[in-house]
Amino acid sequence: MDKVNLSGLNKVEKSILMELTDFNSSLRQVAIDMHFEDTCKSVGKKFETAENAIIHLLELGLISIQKNKYTEIPNNEILLAKSEELSFQAAKEHLRHPANWMSDHGMESDLIYFEIAPTDRGEVVLDALFEYQAKT
């Protein structure tokens, strides 16, 4: 595996990536994590930091924002019906709306969720992060 340069990522960006290890995450979860991680910053500054970190990770191609549509089937089960990766511009627009940070699902339906997911490249960086942590 090629050596991965982790120096271009700040602490917040690394933290967001680490949260995606086993499961995708929502903007709401990122906001909650930011709230408890730095209690000295104002709420507005926390959102700005989180938004900038996510945009940088998107620019680097390490994460994507997925629009997932689920369908309800008998026995109260919910299945993924469709998953669509937002373009960079659509993702930036999605990030700009404060309501999208407060809810896991889309405004048009309770069965549409927006999730942050690592890309293949992001998975490689995650592996490097864990390898680095294991050595320190």
What are the tens digits of pLDDT across the range 111-130? 888 899 999 999 999 888 88
- Does the reported pTM lie above 0.85? no
More confident residue, 119 or 29: 119
pLDDT at site 3: 58
Measure CA 83 to chain center.
15
| 63-73 and 112-118 beta bridge pairing | antiparallel
The region that residue 10 occupies, defined by phi over 0 for left and psi between -120 and 50 for alpha, beta otherwise, is beta
Q: How far apart are CA 94 and CA 107, in angstroms?
A: 12
**13-34 mean pLDDT:** 84
Q: According to the model, what pLDDT value does residue 1 have?
A: 41
Average pLDDT over residues 63-85: 88
